[in-house]
Structure 1
């Protein structure tokens, strides 16, 4: 029996009948851009929405510094331990809140009473207290079995080395990609001051230098681990404690400065919010970082469901702060610069069970054995100070790998209306140039067109 593979591929996105009956999408591309492509001034695979970067490689100077740091150390054991640490961090969940613990504890207590046939309403306060004490250990045991046991990771000298070997390369690739998008879409932006919260081994500093170079005059790095700060400083010294730092304007602290007077052009929090002990602490930290932001605030987490939920929590919080100026008069209004083309509630969080994440390719460090390119998935949000300008084109963002097939391409996108739209691009329906641009685009790119109508994913 002959199999229609194109038909089968489309079925991955849902019921095929819906494609046959769904309303057509209205696709509109600027005539000026169409003319540029027709005149071969721009190739479709290099249209202005493409965010592709080369496979990221950690600078040789950093690798040499790491080799110097790891000299006379058990590199294989450190590499293995780093892989274990990376897996642990990827599987982390947010800490359980106190009200969740109380609620679950009350549920277990009620189950005990139901099993014993006890009516708690008929018990005196003393009898109720005696019952709770009698089964306290059982309740605690059940809580430990059913609730996630969150513990802070203490980064001593050894743990810092594990983190460096396992996480420097992927985090460098992620931050470099985000910084590159900012530079591409906002070429006139020249950041002079950068603030990195949870700076770890200084990955953000190196990624920012790779994109903006000497334009950045000061890097202010904050990490609660003194050993992490020492290792980050040592890498800037080429692995030699007596040498001078290759980037002289880098400063390290273990705590967030209380003063809000100093502002930084770029503020970064990468893979840090999940290290905070509660939702309240996360939100307090986010508003603190926002108050230090002069232009861009970047928040990055793992591309897991947990990481995405934390990113969406931060996104909602900052956007709501801007709306509640009577409550927070000192807070400047914000809009989402990336990845969302809108400031509305996240449609994936509202209607889907998969995270909104993206992917970047990188070359792992030479200490990890084979150096074949790997991929890192991440969730992120970039806020920009001020209202969204009227000139913002709000192009749709491709949120999953397009299905490129014979004579059609299926793109799933987040659009300016705050919805997920699925469009089957064909040359006959949408025009050759929009079709070629769609075929040339990838996960994470912007499509240089407006999309209205069509099938909404909910």
Structure 2
């Protein structure tokens, strides 16, 4: 799945950057990153238009790429699913919506829910002339979300107090007509939020399509955690604002795709949980399967299996 921002979104970001000091954006982006790492929510971090723009320039490409990867796997697991409506809960500047529309051009109706006025204003400006969204300014912990075929909450559950997360997941599931997709940072804390959501959704009778190969308790034990990574290119402004030299970055993410019974789909038979390790005798794979964790060795002498294994990457279905 492509991780580069679509042309319309790139052009909209460039328009927003006209006449804006890159040094100021870099300072704001650094302050924002420190605040988020300290556990502060968006309400205390994104105070105005320039804060929202600094966030979008530095983080929107990564959240877009992570959502695009999760959506690509959802599409692979349920190829007949063609959503007409989307709810992006905790939408921020709207990167997840752009990713969804790239994967499913069938989406004609979009609802945004977010508590941040600066984020919602920026999301509206970025989408101007390309698509429209119905906007609800509200807290995910208390708002009643609009029903949609596809419901997304990306990099949003951290904004919800731990004691309220299951209640929020229940509301999002109640709003889901087809698929619910959750994406979080690929950290132990992000994975813990995904795991909480997973348990709640299994209890509600949801079918898990990805990344899990089963609905049994997750077989991973600390300090291990389920996460993946997507590589995305950095624009010149992205590099300047992040004060980085590399032309790309790798975004770690954790995700979950849950389906209603009306969606025809099935999980993978196995999921690769770590980068394959190639050595002279063959390739080692770490897999999640319906039977639990499995270490699979594919010998070089098995030419057909080895050729297949060489094409596999971290996060792929196997």
Output the TM-score relative to the length of structure 2.
Answer: 0.89
1:199 to 91, 94, 116: 91
After TM superposition, give the deviation of residue 344 of structure 1 in Å.
0.7
Task: Check if 1:410 corresponds to 2:301.
Answer: no
Counterpart among 184, 208, 222 of residue 301 in structure 1: 184
Contact 1:79/1:165, CA 8 A, preserved across alignment: no
Confirm or deny that 1:268 pairs with 2:152: yes
Does residue 206 of structure 2 align to residue 334 of structure 1?
Answer: yes
- Note the residue ranges of structure 1 that are not aligned, 5 or more in a row: 1-52, 93-149, 238-244, 323-332, 448-458
Deviations 1:173-194 (A, max 9, x none): 1111111222233222110000
Counterpart residue number, 1:344: 216
* Unaligned 5+ runs, structure 2: 240-244
C-alpha distance in structure 2 between counterparts of 1:210 and 1:284, whole Å: 30
For 1:88 and 1:259, the matched residues in 2 are separated by 28
CA distance in 1, matches of 2:104, 2:30: 31
Distance (whole Å) between structure 2 residues aligned to residue 404 and residue 426 of structure 1: 10
- Residue 363 (1) aligns with residue 238 (2): no
Per-residue Cα deviation, 1:139-158 (whole angstroms, up to 9, x for no partner): xxxxxxxxxxx433322223
Who is 1:381 aligned against? Answer: 256
Following superposition, the deviation at residue 396 of structure 1 comes to 0.7
Give runs of aligned pairs for residues 54-453 of structure 1, distance below 5 A: 54=2, 56-86=3-33, 88-89=35-36, 91=37, 150-154=39-43, 155-157=46-48, 158-213=50-105, 215-237=106-128, 245-248=129-132, 250-255=133-138, 263-276=147-160, 278-320=161-203, 322=204, 333-348=205-220, 351-369=221-239, 370=245, 372-386=247-261, 392=266, 394-417=268-291, 419-428=292-301, 431-447=302-318
> SS at the partner of 2:115?
coil
- Partner SS state of residue 347, structure 1: coil
CA contact (8 A) 2:110 2:134 kept: yes
CA distance in 1, matches of 2:32, 2:20: 18
In 2 relative to 1, CA 387–183 (structure 1 residues): closer, same or farther, beyond 3 Å? closer
Contact 1:335 1:388 in 2 (8 A): no
Within 1, Cα distance between the matches of 2:29 and 2:143?
Answer: 33
Q: Is the 8 A contact 1:363 1:371 kept in 2?
A: no
Change (3 A) 1:393 1:378: closer
Separation in structure 1 between the aligned mates of residue 255 and residue 78 of structure 2, nearest angstrom: 18
Whose radius of gyration is greater, 1 or 2? 1
> What is aligned with 2:242?
none
Q: Report the Cα offset of residue 252 of structure 1.
A: 1.2
Distance in 2 (CA, whole Å) between partners of 1:388 and 1:367 is 41
Deviation, 1:74, is 1.4
Q: Is the 8 A contact 1:170 1:364 kept in 2?
A: no
Q: How many residues align?
A: 308
Q: CA deviation at 1:88?
A: 4.7
1:371 is displaced (CA, Å) by 6.3
Q: Judging changes above 3 Å, is the alpha-carbon distance between structure 1 residues 195 and 388 closer, same or farther for their aligned structure 2 residues?
A: closer
RMSD (CA atoms): 2.2
Matched position secondary structure for 1:353: coil
Q: Which has the higher contact order (CA 8 A, sep 6+)?
A: 1
- 3-state SS of paired residue (2:294): strand
1:415 to partner: Cα distance = 0.7
TM-score with structure 1 setting the length: 0.63
Note the C-alpha offset of 1:69. 1.6
The alignment partner of 2:314 has SS state of: coil
Higher strand share: 2
Structure 2 Cα separation of the partners of residues 225 and 433 of structure 1: 53
